[in-house]
Structure 1
Amino acid sequence: MDHNLAQRLKAFRERTKIKMPAIALLTGIAKETLYKWEKGTKPSDLNDYFRLKAYLDEMENKFHEEQLERDTQKPATLRLPLNLNLLPVPQTDGKAAAGTITFFNDEPELIVDRINAPFLGPVDGVIEVTGESMAPTFGNGCRIGIIRLNDSRILNWGLHYYIIDKNWQGIIRRVYKGETENSLLLVSDNPNQHLFPPIQRTWEQIEAVFKIIAGILRY
């Protein structure tokens, strides 16, 4: 059997939890044959092969359409608590834009855009970049995918992070060790370092640190 079709059959059953006898009933192909095909045995009847292929094409398209419909019905933004012990929740009223800090029961929350992009890995949400301080890496209008850190003091020097200070202002910078053990050096990617000079921040001035997973030019 076509290796790709065998993988599709297995993945479809795992995703939908459908049993093989049900597929056999819907396709008219013996369940024993389907089990063999799923394990990689080549089909002896091409008509059955194309019947299964047509069934998978139809059901996968239907599954993706339903998934898209569910996604479009979800609120476009999430309230992402800075407190790791609290879970993100949908922003049902949609009043605050992504990148805004709001408060719920005295807990600060970062509003982020929802994103469905499994290829990026775990992403808590997306916010838009404003300004050119991080150009050309992250230009004005592009998006960044961010994730909360279990321990914000364990950082990899030279990587990009999204930092929220005690004034509830967010900033994207490369992060390096500061002049003291209790400080960080925040560096712009813009070649014009005179316009965007490095910034020193102590940990007491920082409210939260998010790791930047990816930059997204189109969203």
Structure 2
Amino acid sequence: MKNVSSDLKAWMMSNGLTQKKISDALGTSTAYVNTMMCGKKPFGRAAAKKWQEAFGLNASWLMTGEGPMLVGQEGAPERPLSLASHSDGGGIPLIPVEAMAGAFRGERTVLEYECERYIVPAFEGADFLVRVTGDSMVPTFRSGDIVACQRVPLDNLFFQWNRAYVLDTTQGAIIKRVRQAGDTGHILIVSDNAEYTPFELPREQLHGLALVRGLIRLE
């Protein structure tokens, strides 16, 4: 039987669920949740069914570690991401919003010590992961999605027009599409949600840039 503990922890982190939130949803104690999350006790049929009803996790996967993690995920990758160990230096760091500036600069303290790291086989070579917030990029990116990003050097910058980027701007980090503006001193920032009006951003207000390589969505 595969150990589901690391994947279950990764799923919990990617969905912003604490042990308290899980225990409240299940109507049980945080001690029980911790026991199950750490793999100290295997999932029985009744417990697995309860977790499936509450969170959409596949009861069979919880009991055996085999098959898709989520109900209705047949045919999808069985392990979209798993939690990596800090000690082995592997995995891709999931960067909190407040540390985005350090991620663009590749600061060692941010990328190696302060963040959870995840193994995502589909996105080897990505520099960091970041969680999407807001609805400006729906339907392509939804709030709660995790996007894999590859840093782009600002010197001798070359844009792939109409691709999605994470941009570190004077007003903070944003995820948008980038298109050519009316002059070389600006770039056109475009949302996928038509309710958000495109705007031109002066290049001098761009402090960091990362190309979005793909997304992870756990539903």
Residue 118 of structure 1 and its aligned partner are, at CA, apart by 2.4
Structure 2 residue matching 1:71: 3-state secondary structure: coil
Distance 2:137 2:103 in 1: 25
Tell me whether 1:114 sits opposite 2:136 in the alignment.
Answer: no
* Count of paired positions: 128
Residue 90 of structure 1 and its aligned partner are, at CA, apart by 2.1
Structure 2 residue matching 1:200: 3-state secondary structure: strand
**One of 142, 148, 161 as aligned partner of 1:157:** 161
TM-score of the aligned structures, taking structure 2 as reference length:
0.51
Please tell me whether the aligned partners of residues 138 and 192 of structure 2 are also in contact (alpha carbons under 8 angstroms). Answer: yes
Structure 2 residue matching 1:185: 3-state secondary structure: strand
Tell me whether 1:83 sits opposite 2:115 in the alignment.
Answer: no
Residue 115 of structure 1 and its aligned partner are, at CA, apart by 2.3
Question: 1:89-168, aligned counterparts within 5 Å?
Answer: 89-92=111-114, 113-151=116-154, 153-167=157-171
**One of 173, 177, 182 as aligned partner of 1:174:** 177
Residue 74 of structure 1 and its aligned partner are, at CA, apart by 6.8
| Cα pair distance change 1:171/1:89, threshold 3 Å | closer
Q: Deviations over 1:9-51 (max 9, x none)?
A: xxxxxxxxxxxxxxxxxxxxxxxxxxxxxxxxxxxxxxxxxxx
Structure 2 residue matching 1:119: 3-state secondary structure: helix
Question: 1:46-61, aligned counterparts within 5 Å?
Answer: none
Distance 2:145 2:188 in 1: 24
User: Any gaps of 5 or more consecutive residues in structure 2?
Assistant: 1-81
Higher relative contact order (CA 8 A, sep 6+): 2
Please tell me whether the aligned partners of residues 77 and 91 of structure 1 are also in contact (alpha carbons under 8 angstroms). Answer: no
Distance 2:200 2:177 in 1: 12
User: Any gaps of 5 or more consecutive residues in structure 1?
Assistant: 1-67, 95-112
Distance 1:176 1:147 in 2: 18
Which residue of 2 is the match for residue 188 of structure 1? 191
TM-score of the aligned structures, taking structure 1 as reference length:
0.51
Q: Please provide the CA RMSD for this pair.
A: 2.9
Residue 69 of structure 1 and its aligned partner are, at CA, apart by 8.7
Structure 1 residue matching 2:118: 3-state secondary structure: coil
